[in-house]
Chain A
Amino acid sequence: MKTEADYYALFEAYRAGKLAEAERSALEHRLAADPELARRLREFEDLTGTLTAYGRRLALRRRLQAIHADMEANVPLEAPAAGPAPRLPLAKVAEEDERREQFAAGRAPRPMLRISRTEEKLRAFWQSHRATMMVAAAVAVLAVFATLLGLEMYRTAQKPSLYGYTVLRREVERIKRDQRSMNRTLTQIDATQPGERNNPGKFSGTGFALTADGYLVTSYHVIQGADSLLIENRARQRFRAEPVFTDVAHDLAILQIKDKDFSGFGRLPYAFKRGESDLGEKVYTLGYPREDLVFNDGSLSARSGFEGDTGFYQVSIPVNPGNSGGPLLDDRGNLIGVVSGRQVDVQSAAFATKSSYLMRLVDSLSAAGAGQPYNLPRGNQLSGTSRPQQIRKLQDYVFVVKVYE
């Protein structure tokens, strides 16, 4: 009885053609008669065939790896040992065909790039994380824009009324210094106090007397952020003042002079109007946009202020930085407002807080009963007089408010 291994020996010899003629024909007869044996032969052939194919596959893989390594290392292919002559033109034709095809396919011939290991890693990283990085970049860009937009919105929300609106306090530092030095040389009286002159304050605005005993009115934004305040009159007398009350919404501030040697303004020539003034009323203001008192006039052009704010008038007076806090008076010498600001993009549109709001503020302060009582002027000495006369009387009650930060 033969074992399977013996059959395999037989099959191998048979396939290799090493069997003697008699044995071979005997085996072939048996194979034809015995299907079991035929199956065994098939299995044997399958097995050895697969084994050799497997061997070839491994060898081929090694060869391809070697070819690839050579290509990467840029080893040139050795030229054919005996290249037949007609091959060259053929090769050229083939190459040309190749090029044409690549054009047709819209694909440029891609040269083999030699890239370093690091670059390879970077490329792999980029390939695998490209989508993620795109998303990250998009988010970053969005975040930047959202932040910018948010900041802008926050800023406009903080100062809603100041967009397109200029408050008129003057930045003193920016005023030409030669004007002051000119003043100094012209007005010899200051020669005795050079030290004080050198500190002109950071900002300045205008203020005017509210009562005879030392209350003054100016705009809130003039004294905003102030450490100390100095009031200076036309004769260059100075008094120290302190804010008593401020009203941010109506841009009003009430100051009180705290100096010991201050004895009072004397009787105020103007009266405060409690009602509202009419459109078209001739109005004027006095203020200190420069070192000297400046007069400007115009008309009351609207009964509401910037963006319809009913606490303000619009007046067609050319005002400048430094005019803020100045008094706005009508033809009869009634005080009807406090100059506050102007609109940048509109010709000659200045705004002034209505005196009715000032009066309401004073009344409520009186009612609260804090501090010195407010003795508002009763009579009006200006009505019926000409404007130069009015101004001559007024000018002693309008002051420069100097702000130190």
Chain B
Amino acid sequence: MGKGIPSYTDEEFVAAIRRDDDRALAQLYRLHFPMISHYVLQNSGTEDEAKDVYQEGVMVFYEKVRDGSLELSCQIKTYLYAVCRRLWLKRLTEKTRFDGRLDDHEPFLETGAEADLELAEERDRQLGTMAQALDLIGEPCRSLLEGFYLLDKSMQQLTAEFGYTNADNAKNQKYKCLVRLKKLFFTQYQELT
């Protein structure tokens, strides 16, 4: 792929993504998408499903790299393949009308993908709970917290946006919102686990 565009080695990819290099991520994404798309399409999936699964897989990889907790014992390609394969198998079994046959004769590869995926699932649950809690908390807390933590706006910006008289008022409001969010988040999270 990408004739004329210099490619990265695996090490270079990891280093570039740790630096949060957008171009490297895009290139990595393009490099391995055909493989996953092919696999999913071969196993009774659609283009859209392939895209979803692949993006999830790339996210797992990306977050591990950013954490610095990635221990690659194989190529990136193999790692991504293993992660996406597990993800797709899970999705297939979740589908009610599972009539797809899998050409799953590939030998099991010790890629660390299994363990990583379990961690990622735990994280997904956590983030899902957070999304739910944010949904429940109501305005203006939701916009305030999203503005500060998700969109990285400064308190000055938010003060102006929400019409608080000064930044201290906005801050106090934010802390109150955090306390409410904490209650919602931890009760829900405990219900789940």
Q: Which candidate, B27-35, B84-92, B109-117, is the interface stretch facing chain A?
A: B27-35
Give A123-150 as 1s and 0s: 1 = Cβ < 8 Å from B's Cβ atoms. 1100110110000000000000000000
Q: When the two chains form their complex, are residues A64 and B179 in contact, meaning their CB atoms are under 8 A apart?
A: no
| With A58-B150, A67-B30 as contacts: A51 and B130 at CB distance below 8 Å | yes
Q: What's the interface size class on B, roughly?
A: 35 or more
**B46: Cβ under 8 A from any A Cβ:** yes
Find A68's partner among B4, B9, B55 (CB 8 Å cutoff): B55
Interface of B is mostly: helix
Are B175 and A8 interface neighbours, CB within 8 A?
yes
- The CA of A127 and the CA of B95, in the complex, are separated in Å by 14
In the bound assembly, the distance between CA atoms of A81 and B186 in angstroms comes to 46
> Is there a chain A Cβ closer than 8 Å to B41's Cβ?
yes
Cβ of B52 to closest chain A Cβ, rounded Å:
10
Any A CB within 8 A of the CB of B47: yes
Chain A interface secondary structure, helix, strand, loop or mixed? helix
Q: Does A369 contact B (CB under 8 A)?
A: no
Question: A88 contacts B150, CB within 8 Å?
Answer: no
Residues of B within 8 A of A77 (CB): 2, 5, 23, 26-27, 30
Query: Do A127 and B44 touch across chains, with their CB atoms under 8 A apart?
Result: yes
Across the interface, which residues of A come within 8 angstroms of B29, CB to CB?
64, 67-68, 71
Chain A interface residue count: which class? 35 or more
Chain A residues with Cβ below 8 Å from B62 are 60
Contact: A120 with B175, CB < 8 Å? no
Instruction: Using known A-B contacts A77-B2, A77-B30, A95-B7, determine if residue A68 contacts B150 with beta carbons closer than 8 Å.
Output: no
The 8 Å CB contact of B150, one of A51, A60, A128, is A51
Interface presence of B151 (CB below 8 A): yes
Encode contact with A along B126-168: 1 for CB under 8 Å, 0 otherwise.
Answer: 1100110010000000000110011110000000000000000
Contact across chains for A71 and B33 when beta carbons are under 8 A apart:
yes
**Across the interface, do B182 and A5 meet the contact criterion of CB distance under 8 Å?**
no
Residues of chain B with a CB closer than 8 A to A55's CB:
146, 149-152
Mark each residue of chain A from 108 to 124: 1 if its CB lies under 8 Å from any CB of chain B, else 0. Answer: 01111000000010011
Contacts known (A50-B127, A61-B59, A109-B34); A5 close to B175, Cβ less than 8 A: yes
The 10 closest A-B pairs by CB, nearest first: A55-B150, A5-B175, A51-B149, A91-B7, A91-B6, A8-B175, A110-B34, A67-B26, A87-B6, A64-B55
22 A/B residue pairs, CB under 8 Å, sorted by A: A5-B179, A6-B175, A51-B181, A52-B149, A61-B55, A61-B59, A63-B22, A63-B25, A64-B55, A65-B55, A67-B26, A68-B33, A71-B33, A77-B23, A77-B26, A80-B6, A91-B8, A107-B38, A110-B37, A111-B34, A112-B34, A120-B47
